[in-house]
Structure 1
């Protein structure tokens, strides 16, 4: 059962935050976003940062190395790059309560921040996943029964 009015997202925006009880569950960057320059979409306290960059030919990004900086990471955050196809993403609260679903398509990017999620492939899919490692198997996640296709409430 979807939770009434606890999930919010900017409708029709190329950048949407999925929020439940003042906590960001996910950030979706639509393939329609194409603003020049560099745009960071995530607050500094997240262990994954999501940015978009669009530059004209000839732009120089200075050479650099990344310094060793100790960071404490307590929750796995995933970034999915949808290369091709369609994917339904079902959002759940941390208590495994179904909230709503979104459909992603080729070119879309999603940062999964908190809460639970499940997926159904709607069209043949190619995607790339980026998350903190190493993968710890059963220690890394708690699986639970999600919704069926007929129960999905597609938002946005």
Structure 2
């Protein structure tokens, strides 16, 4: 199952649920995203030819993050660019999420292990603007 969080025609997030399966390869991100996300299922003895990646100049404007929830249960709260709360969803062990645009916050509903992949180098305090979360009585979990 694939879940997309969209606000004002802008793709904020893509969630690949742990139950998703498909033969072959599928890219979930548009070609112009600075972080690409795909799923591959290949049969035994399938070969991906050895290769190197060529140097290609790229300009990254926004940090995009991919999180893999190795274990646990996490609520993700989504916000628009103006820090207005939109909705929440729950991630379970094995789920993968791409955070593309907008804001986001997390609450660990169980002890959780998360693997994060994002562009670098890390810019410290310049990398993000922190703000107050929505009060828990206003959450809308989908």
- What TM bracket, shorter-length normalisation? over 0.9
Counterpart-to-counterpart distance in 2, 1:82 and 1:127 = 5
- Give SS of 1:139's match: helix
* Alpha-carbon separation, structure 2, partners of 1:56 and 1:39: 15
C-alpha separation in 2, matches of 1:133 and 1:19? 25
**Aligned Cα RMSD in Å?**
0.7
- Return the match for 1:123 from 107, 110, 114: 110
- In structure 2, runs of 5+ residues without a counterpart are none
Which residue of the partner structure matches residue 6 of structure 1?
none
Equivalence for 2:94: 107
Structure 1 residue 149, shift from structure 2 partner: 3.0
Q: Give structure 1 stretches of 5+ with no counterpart.
A: 1-13
Tell me whether 1:59 sits opposite 2:46 in the alignment.
Answer: yes
Residue 29 of structure 2 corresponds to which residue in structure 1? 42
Residue correspondences, number: 142
SS in 1 for 2:112: strand
Cα deviation for residue 17 of structure 1 reads 1.2
Aligned-residue offset at 1:150 = 3.0
Write the deviation string for residues 55-84 of structure 1: whole angstroms up to 9, x where unpaired. 111110100000000011000000000000
State TM-score, norm by structure 2: 0.98
Q: Does residue 152 in structure 1 map to residue 139 in structure 2?
A: yes
Aligned twin of 1:138: 125
SS at match of 1:138: helix
